[in-house]
Structure 1
């Protein structure tokens, strides 16, 4: 059996050096990507939200119909803080899409960090302070550190608010049609 040899043109030493440098850079980048999984921080969801679990928490997770009690701090990628609150009740479905999605990943007691891309945050529109200055520039990635303290279904929150209003107005616990003030409640 014969092998046909095809003569190759000689390659300059300079071209070989660039070839080897390119190969080493590609290998180095591939190794770095293999260890980190990404060049961006956190775990990515299908929508593009990125998150990091700082403390996992336990138990069930909130849904769109819940109101979450959270501690949070919101910054831009450069660290500029634009918002922070402690023990803030937030209707899960009423937040920007990325924040709502992130809350629904958390269990009570969990602490997460979210990186919300513009399309899941405020988009291309600037968000302004009451004085007219720009609080959040358009196309900004929002970074939130969030602690989920607790959450309750929105219906329970409404019921609690109604009971509180009734007490403030001097209405009986049963609402209209309940026993008159001073009357004893019916025996069970």
Structure 2
């Protein structure tokens, strides 16, 4: 019995370590609920967006330009991108060129960005569970810039990664 418990413990530890990256970020395997996936699909339909593909986690994406080069960004990768983030009502909440570690971003970005390579351009349509969920996101003055349970739309160009 003792050997069985020890064996199971080793298996669990090995399996959990295998999924975690060397930088401390790990794949969360979060899937948006069906109602959120449907809300994104309804948004796409009402805006006549017919080329968006669905990822198994529940967000949708359009690849406008794949990009070139070898490799794709991973969780530990430092990415530099230019993006515009907007709500489904069209309000832009952020627009920037920035660099960050991909694993530190929202789940929809973490899972979506690897679809393109350096120089690639895409749009992401992210349900709330893969973004900020039921949390309001406020600016420095306390004004809500992303209301809770918002669908987020990102227009992204991946400038580089390393």
Which TM-score band (shorter chain)?
0.5 to 0.7
Residue 106 (structure 2) aligns with: 96
Q: Count residues in correspondence.
A: 114
Secondary structure (helix, strand or coil) at the match of 2:115 reads coil
Out of 128, 133, 136, the position equivalent to 2:146 is 136
TM-score by length of 2: 0.67
Q: Which moved more, 1:70-79 or 1:53-62?
A: 53-62
After superposition, the CA RMSD in angstroms is 1.2
Out of 142, 145, 165, the position equivalent to 2:155 is 145
Q: Segments of 4+ in structure 1 off by > 4 A?
A: none
Out of 82, 94, 107, the position equivalent to 2:93 is 82
**Cα deviation digits, residues 136-164 of structure 1 (max 9, x gap):** 01000010000001100xxxxxxxxxxxx
Secondary structure (helix, strand or coil) at the match of 2:129 reads helix
Residue 73 (structure 2) aligns with: 62
Listed as ranges, the gaps of 5+ residues in structure 2 are 1-40
CA distance in structure 1 between the partners assigned to 2:136 and 2:102 by the alignment: 23
Listed as ranges, the gaps of 5+ residues in structure 1 are 1-37, 153-188
Residue 71 (structure 1) aligns with: 82
CA distance in structure 2 between the partners assigned to 1:103 and 1:54 by the alignment: 13
Q: Relative contact order (alpha carbons < 8 A, sep ≥ 6): 1 or 2 greater?
A: 2
TM-score by length of 1: 0.58
